[in-house]
Structure 1
């Protein structure tokens, strides 16, 4: 009976040893094997064999991307407090044996790794921000990220990690500074709006002045052409009157009549025209014999001048 119990125990122990010799490593994970506390080898994802009771799984390292959120404060060159909210994305550098050894043995545990990583990122950003003024920080978001990456890549590679991405999700200042920045932005917007309004008013006034100038030019040109046409019409009228008077004078001479009758008729027609078209009620005329004779002589001299002009034109 005792022998059966011993055999059963031995068989049970052998079964446990056999089953413990096989290890399953999940996808995205690397297992680190040690022998009596010393590094031995790594196990890749899948079913692996290890020496039972001798080889021990020291740790399982995830090679997948990991993220951590950061919240910290920095001070600018002009003593303004800046508050950052960031997201850090990192992963194991590669699956090479030396890299896995660094990841497994550089830090006591994951907590110490995270503490070192966070403090390194915060220190790098604080050192960069300390050289910049408050007004420059917001526009230097990309420069801050590039500066941190350049410094951390070298440090993290020594730990067996790689910085995938750093995102500065939020950058804020003290409430007083935020209000002053808002006032500056508002005043700049008002200034830009005033400048735009002034430019629009200038353009409107310029276009209106150009339109007025063009209208004046067109009106002047039209008046010039109208004056020219009126002058031509008056000249033609005078020519026709002179021709008519010449013909009438010739007919009267052939009939042996005095040509002064033509002038007297024109004089009376003029008085009739004045009476019909003037706005007044009284026409003052020199009715004396001397005045009548003087008027007749002037009209006869005008008739002679008109006849001479016509003859010169025909020649």
Structure 2
């Protein structure tokens, strides 16, 4: 009997051990122990009520009483939102917005329980913010303010989603795509502006080139004029010295002919040396130099006589014009005097008629004599 009583507890212990081992290494093991991966959290609920947040690693729960939710990722997630809206100048554009967000580790329970669909909530805020911002901007201004739109979306999302345990890492407006026809028109406008700027630059360069060339030509002509003046001065001085030398040698009457003949031969040498003139009118022999000088003197005298006659004619015309002007002025003065006399006569007749009919005229009328008072 004693042996039977000893065997019963041993059998019970063995059975209990077998059950415990079966539970630990069987299906019940998965009901007690569970593993959470890195950058994830799991919420443990007891009878549907929040109990705790399980961190990464090996965790336990009470079987049949506590349950776990799906893993909640703590990594940065990206949500792509494509928005079609209208700008201030009535241009429809498509704007893709990338929102990068994550769940705060300290607010995992709020992120899980307070929002049923956080992506749709973020999408709604992005739509509302982008459409409100673009409604006040033109298309050109929208391209310039792309980063400002992204910052405004990020600020609003941070304020609204922060209360639900989400943190907005970054908001990127990746593109602003208008209608293809609008884009082609913008490219055409940009190309036309660049062509105009290029044309203006080319015109300015051509202007600078022409001005520089004109300045260079002006300076060249000025220097050429200085050189020609110096050359003529030197020739005149040389001719005067030669003339004085001829006079000193006793050659007075033929000195002018000798100088002209010297200039003639110098000119012929220059023509033969350069040879760029097609037609040259010169005497055919040195003997005609005297006739040429006589013709030159006669031409100069004729020119002086013509100039003197022209000045006398101009002076005579000026005197006639002055006399005509004085005559017209006298006639105008006489006509004004006749008009004033007729006005005084008419005023006197009107005053006389008013006096005969007993009408008092207002005093101070120009041209009216004072009317005596009636008796």
Taking only aligned residues, the RMSD between alpha carbons, in angstroms, comes to 3.3
Between the two proteins, the alignment pairs up a number of residues equal to 261
Q: 2:110 aligns with which of 102, 106, 113?
A: 102
Q: Report the equivalent of 1:33.
A: 44
Task: Specify which of 208, 212, 216 is matched with residue 217 of structure 2.
Answer: 212
Gapped regions of structure 2 (runs ≥ 5): 1-10, 266-281, 292-375
SS of equivalent to 1:170: coil
Q: Which residue of 2 aligns with 1:147?
A: 152
Describe the superposition over 1:68-100 as per-residue Cα deviations: whole angstroms up to 9, x where unpaired.
Answer: 2222211223332111223222112x322xx11
TM-score, normalising length: structure 1: 0.70
- Counterpart residue number, 1:308: none
Task: Give the unaligned 5+ runs of structure 1.
Answer: 246-261, 287-315
Map 1:302-313 to 2 at 5 A: none
Give, in whole Å, the separation in 2 of the partners of 1:285 and 1:64. 117
Whether the 8 Å CA contact 1:76–1:129 is kept in 2: the answer is yes
- Give 1:62 deviation, angstroms: 0.9
Q: In the aligned structure 2, how far is the partner of 1:47 from the partner of 1:167? A: 38
TM-score (norm 2): 0.60
Partner residue, 1:195: 200
- CA-to-partner distance for each residue in 1:198-242, whole Å, 9 max, x for gaps? 212211211111111111122122222223332333344345445
In structure 2, C-alpha distance between the alignment counterparts of 1:144 and 1:279, rounded to whole Å: 93
Q: Residues of 1 paired with 2:259 and 2:86: CA distance?
A: 105
Alignment-derived partner of residue 115 in structure 1: 120
Report the equivalent of 1:231: 236
Write the deviation string for residues 98-129 of structure 1: whole angstroms up to 9, x where unpaired.
x1111111223xxx221221122112101111
Task: Check conservation: 1:59, 1:104, Cα contact below 8 A.
Answer: no
Kindly state the Cα deviation for residue 39 of structure 1 after the two structures are TM-superposed: 1.7
2:33 — aligned with what?
22
More displaced stretch, 71-80 vs 13-22: 13-22
Alignment of 1:1-315 (within 5 A): 8-16=18-26, 17=28, 20-92=31-103, 94-96=104-106, 99-108=107-116, 112-245=117-250, 270=258, 273=261, 277=265, 279-281=283-285, 283=288
Cα 1:54–1:150 change in 2 (3 A) is same
Task: Give 2:275's aligned residue.
Answer: none
Instruction: Write the distance in 2 (CA, Å) between the matches of 1:174 and 1:44.
Output: 50
Write the distance in 2 (CA, Å) between the matches of 1:225 and 1:91: 93
User: For 1:142, what is the secondary structure of its paired residue?
Assistant: helix
Bigger mean CA deviation after superposition, 162-171 or 60-69: 162-171
Asked if 1 retains the 8 angstrom alpha-carbon contact of 2:246 and 2:255, the reply is no
**If each structure's strand is expressed as a fraction of its own residues, which one has the higher value?**
1
Q: Deviations over 1:13-51 (max 9, x none)?
A: 244555644332211112222222222222222233444
Q: Distance in 1 between matches of 2:259 and 2:198?
A: 72
Post-superposition shift, 1:155? 1.0
